[in-house]
């Protein structure tokens, strides 16, 4: 690579968190299941085995030296640990097969998770520990947790669940409370394992629900989650993909310090909430990383930097959502190289 770094991703992140001068902005593509490619694993083998998930992410980091190592397979992992049945395609992310809460009667079986035992959470914990041991001195290890609304939707079935915002708000709140406790339990376990947990709440995207429902059913629980994360002196990160213009104000009120956004213009986001939160985004995963070429991706990275590098509360160069697993290696290299070049401080896009 032409543009190399002089400090480690961890040193950079710490400097930024402490408000010190730093060489460049963070460059953090959402490498999730894509990490499986670094050891030629199928996604199924990657996400059902802690040794694989850990080792693939370690190999992936050694290859790309990206600023944050995320651990993730699906937004429904927490719901799975609480009882939702998943199906595991051979080489794609797991998807919900049968939601856990079919009837009101099933609510009796609902309880917060024990991360050391339930579902695939032990797989994640092992992956976190392995990564912390191997590369934790150089980079933060960041397991990704499905936030309460997304977890509740996967517990109940999304289509039924969002109708119940009207027809059974009591049930929604019941699920949200237990899901929130599960999120907090998992945060505790990840922190203990040396990870820095972040949260994703894609079901609460503005393409799905109104701002009114976000305020009533999502925001109070997110506030609880970020207060909990802050109790560890860690920053709150909230990722919501899709269209978020309608809900970005609420996102900024959740207590999250960093908003990872996808389908919204960065200038608009900066205008709306840039005085309150650090922004992170938003190179297109499909048109850029998967279907684009190094030239297209370089332009997209430049555009993000041009639009948001002066965001008052900071900016992180990222993809809008998960890097597709079939993203060509040269496209990933192009993203990182463009980031290292154009996000260098002071910003100079020429």
Partner 1 sequence: MEKSDILYRLTQAVIDMDATRAAEAAAAVIQHNVDPYEAIIEGLAKGMDKVNELFESEEYFVPEILLCADAMNAGIEVLRPYLPKETTWNKKKVVIGVVKGDTHDIGKNLVKIMLDNAGFEMHDLGRNVPHAKFVDTAAEVKADLVCLSTLMTTTMDGMQVIIEDLKKAGIASRVMVGGGPISPGFAKNIGADGYAKNAAEAVKVAKGLFQEIHVPLILKTPELVSVRRNQEGVR
Q: Which residues bind partner 1 (CB under 8 A)?
A: 89, 92-93, 95-96, 158-159, 162-163, 165-167, 207-210, 213, 241-242, 246, 284-287, 290-291, 322, 324-326
Smallest separation, CB 132 to partner 1 (Å): 29
Smallest separation, CB 168 to partner 1 (Å): 12
> Can you state the angle between helices 121-135 and 169-192, rounded to 10 degrees?
30
Closer Cβ to partner 1, 89 or 312, answer by number: 89
Smallest separation, CB 37 to partner 1 (Å): 13
Smallest separation, CB 90 to partner 1 (Å): 10
Smallest separation, CB 47 to partner 1 (Å): 14
Smallest separation, CB 63 to partner 1 (Å): 21
DSSP code of residue 209: S
Reading the block at residue 197, the tokens are 């947990």
Closer Cβ to partner 1, 167 or 233, answer by number: 167
Q: What is the DSSP string of 263-329?
A: SS-HHHHHHHHTTTSEEEEEE-IIIIIIT--HHHHHHHHHHHHHHHTT-TT-EEEEESSPPPTT--H
Phi, psi of 268 (to 5 degrees): -65, -45
Closer Cβ to partner 1, 20 or 163, answer by number: 163
Closer Cβ to partner 1, 309 or 319, answer by number: 319
Smallest separation, CB 83 to partner 1 (Å): 18
Helix (H) or strand (E) holding 71: strand 68-71
> Is the bond leading into 346 cis (omega within 30 degrees of zero)?
yes
Reading the block at residue 49, the tokens are 């085995």
Closer Cβ to partner 1, 210 or 293, answer by number: 210
CB atoms within 10 A of CB 98: 11
Reading the block at residue 347, the tokens are 């910003």
* Nearest Cα residue to 289 out of 1, 44, 107, 64: 64
* Nearest Cα residue to 238 out of 246, 191, 223, 69: 223
Smallest separation, CB 92 to partner 1 (Å): 5
Q: Beta strands of the chain (E only): which ranges?
A: 68-71, 85-87, 95-98, 140-146, 198-200, 237-240, 258-261, 278-283, 315-319
Strands 85-87 and 95-98: antiparallel
Closer Cβ to partner 1, 6 or 90, answer by number: 90
Three-class SS of residue 346? Answer: coil
Closer Cβ to partner 1, 229 or 261, answer by number: 261
CA-based max dimension of the chain = 63
Closer Cβ to partner 1, 135 or 162, answer by number: 162
Closer Cβ to partner 1, 110 or 290, answer by number: 290
> Could you tell me if 155 and 84 are in contact, meaning their C-beta atoms sit under 8 angstroms apart?
yes
Smallest separation, CB 88 to partner 1 (Å): 12
Reading the block at residue 33, the tokens are 């299941």
> Could you tell me if 252 and 313 are in contact, meaning their C-beta atoms sit under 8 angstroms apart?
no
């Amino acid at each position: 690579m032409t543009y190399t770094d002089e400090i480690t991703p961890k040193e950079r992140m710490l400097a930024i968190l402490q408000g010190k001068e730093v060489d460049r902005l963070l460059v953090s593509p959402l490498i999730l299941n894509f990490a499986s490619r670094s050891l030629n694993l199928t996604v199924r083998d990657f996400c059902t085995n802690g040794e694989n998930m850990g080792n693939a992410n370690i190999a992936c980091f050694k290859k790309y030296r990206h600023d944050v190592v995320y651990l993730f397979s699906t937004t429904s992992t927490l719901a799975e640990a609480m009882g939702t049945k998943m199906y595991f395609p051979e080489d794609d992310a797991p998807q919900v097969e049968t939601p856990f809460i079919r009837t009101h009667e099933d609510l009796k079986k609902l309880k917060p998770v024990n991360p050391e035992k339930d579902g695939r959470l032990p797989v994640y914990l092992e992956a976190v520990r392995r990564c912390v041991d191997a590369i934790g001195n150089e980079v933060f290890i960041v397991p990704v947790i499905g936030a309460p609304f997304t977890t509740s939707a996967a517990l109940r079935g999304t289509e039924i669940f969002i109708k119940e915002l009207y027809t059974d708000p009591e049930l929604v709140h019941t699920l949200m409370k237990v899901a929130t406790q599960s999120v907090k339990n998992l945060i505790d376990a990840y922190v203990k394992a040396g990870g820095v947990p972040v949260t994703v709440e894609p079901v609460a995207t503005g393409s799905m629900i109104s701002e009114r429902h976000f305020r009533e059913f999502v925001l109070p629980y997110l506030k609880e989650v970020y207060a909990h994360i802050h109790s560890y002196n860690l920053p709150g990160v909230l990722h919501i993909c899709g269209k978020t213009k309608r809900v970005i104000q609420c996102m900024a009120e959740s207590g999250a310090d960093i908003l990872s956004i996808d389908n919204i213009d960065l200038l608009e986001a900066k205008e709306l909430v840039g005085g309150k939160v650090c922004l992170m985004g938003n190179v297109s995963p499909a048109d850029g990383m998967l279907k684009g070429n190094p030239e297209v991706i370089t332009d997209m990275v430049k555009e993000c930097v041009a639009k948001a590098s002066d965001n008052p509360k900071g900016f992180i160069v990222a993809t809008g959502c998960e890097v597709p697993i079939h993203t060509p290696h040269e496209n990933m290299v192009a993203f990182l190289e463009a980031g290292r070049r154009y996000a260098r401080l002071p910003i100079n896009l020429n």
